[in-house]
Amino acid sequence: MRGAGPVIETRLKHLEAHLEQENPVLLTTVQSFRELDAVAYRMGLFGPDQSFATQIPWWPLISILGTFSAGKSTFINHYLGSKLQRSGNQAVDDKFTVLCFSNQSTTHALPGVALDSDPRFPFYKVSGEIEKVAAGEGSRIDAYLQLKTSPSPALRGKILIDSPGFDADAQRTSTLKITDHIIDLSDLVLVFFDARHPEPGAMRDTLDHLVSKTINRQDSGKFLYILNQIDTTAREDNPEEVVAAWQRAMGDRGLTAGRFFAIYNDEAANPIPNEALRRRFESKRDADLADIHERMEQVEIERAYRIVGSLEKTARRFGDRIVPALNELIARWRKRTLIGDAIAAVLIVGAFIAITSRLGQWNGLQLQAGWWDSLTASPMRIYFTALVAYLIWLAVHYGVRKLAAKSLVGAAERMGQKLGIRGSLAAAFRANTRPWRSIFSRQPAGWGRRSRRRIQRVLEDADRYVQDLNDRFTNPSGNVPLDLAATGLVEPDDESPLEPAPEKRPAETN
């Protein structure tokens, strides 16, 4: 059985060392991911250089999407308190930019390979995914990604991703692939639209991809839809109608979750002469910005729940997707093998009868030939003749089953991509077609009692992790936790609403 290679093992140990100081609950989830890795190795789904723990970002992740000139970079610069991102009315950045904190006083721009090779970032090994959808583009990872560092305290403990303008790249398959990838991994997604384009219909493709494709997601609540540069509508007769038009456009696409905000930046704003109108715009903007910033500060908590949720989802995919997919592929392989065996048997028997008939070696239904009489002259010769025939048939059978397996490898790869299975479903399928595996096996290779127990244990642990997180961030009773009270750092209430006050004993008399 294969296991984690030295590179993956080293990375997991570094991750555990980091989480030991930051979040003990998440530290224990790494061991659970190791359990899932062990099942994936047994089934042939993973190679030694793969791990479920390296396929998710462990840092809180906020992605910022939207159209060109929607004010994404201006918003980021204002949030960071420094002009890290270039801004303007034209396309100024055509790459996905990952922004992270650095203790160095100067900022640095690093190439995309810095992200593609580091499992802590959300773009680990993404070059391979790009290569699958656009041949030759995987080697051009620096054309798609860059990493920027900043000493801004606002970035401490989280990662921001600034996307290129969505509408201009609508036809670029690789860019859409990356966009969908970061949406899946993000704890919070800010979707920006430009209020200076008051006709939502002009942004139909953008709305379809960034709105219609997100409304049915289980995590649709992590999307915030932001109509930026709303100050440009101050001169309209009814500026509220501009906001209403965008809300209707999103409602037409079925948007029922996610919040809608209207903001603008003071530094880039148009002057609003009407004092009352200006105060109304500022009040709305300040309230919405406060809500947005508050959600951005909460991503660390959401990150913890996301990782536990990813652990549970990954564990359930074995029984819900991986095993059924393998069973379907194995059934198709078995059927093709049996049909191939039948065809091969008919061809062999037909060729034998045709050749011997042509040589005139049949007398009715009886074969009369010197070589045949020699092979059947004694029981020992009959035994060896049958053994040789059996070995020849085995060679034919294994040739047929190998061809049948090869014919399904492409289908296995497509099925794995369609189902979103991490790892190689094709490799797991090939593990079931090895020579020592029977075509009538009742379950996929590596999927035995031990693997099922491991999956069940991980699911039980995931529930416990959620409870641990709830205990850390919530306290419905309002009582001081026992462990804190025992330290003496916090004094318990004199009278707890859930516990009766101790009875007052009468004073003792001498």
Q: What is the pLDDT at residue 86?
A: 67
- 98-133: pLDDT as tens digits: 888 888 888 888 888 887 777 667 677 777 766 766
Residues in the chain, total: 510
For 109, list phi and psi in degrees, rounded to 5.
-115, 120
Q: What is the pLDDT at residue 169?
A: 44
Q: What is the pLDDT at residue 493?
A: 45
Q: What is the pLDDT at residue 405?
A: 95
Share of the chain above pLDDT 70, in %: 77
Q: What is the pLDDT at residue 98?
A: 86
The token duo for 338 is: 């049996």
In this prediction, residues 353-363 reach a mean pLDDT of 87
Mean of per-residue pLDDT scores for the chain = 79
Asked if residue 212 has pLDDT above 80, the reply is no
- 425-459: pLDDT as tens digits: 999 999 999 999 999 988 999 999 999 999 999 99
In this prediction, residues 190-204 reach a mean pLDDT of 65
Residue 62: its H or E element: strand 61-66
Confidence class for position 164, pLDDT limits 50, 70, 90: confident
Q: Is 491 exposed, middle or buried (0-12, 13-18, 19+ CB in 10 A)?
A: exposed
Closest CA to 116 of 88, 140, 83, 86: 140
Asked if residue 91 has pLDDT above 50, the reply is no
Asked if residue 140 has pLDDT above 70, the reply is yes
Closest CA to 26 of 63, 57, 62, 61: 57
The CA distance from 306 to 218, in Å, is 12
- 26-81: pLDDT as tens digits: 889 999 999 999 999 999 999 988 899 888 878 888 989 887 777 888 888 888 88
Q: Is 350 exposed, middle or buried (0-12, 13-18, 19+ CB in 10 A)?
A: exposed
Dihedral angle sign, alpha carbons of residues 486, 490, 492, 494 = positive
- Region of poorest pLDDT, from 35-39, 236-240, 318-322, 450-454: 236-240
Asked if residue 258 has pLDDT above 80, the reply is no
Is the CB of residue 429 less than 8 Å from the CB of residue 409?
Answer: yes
- Of 265 and 353, which is predicted with more confidence? 353
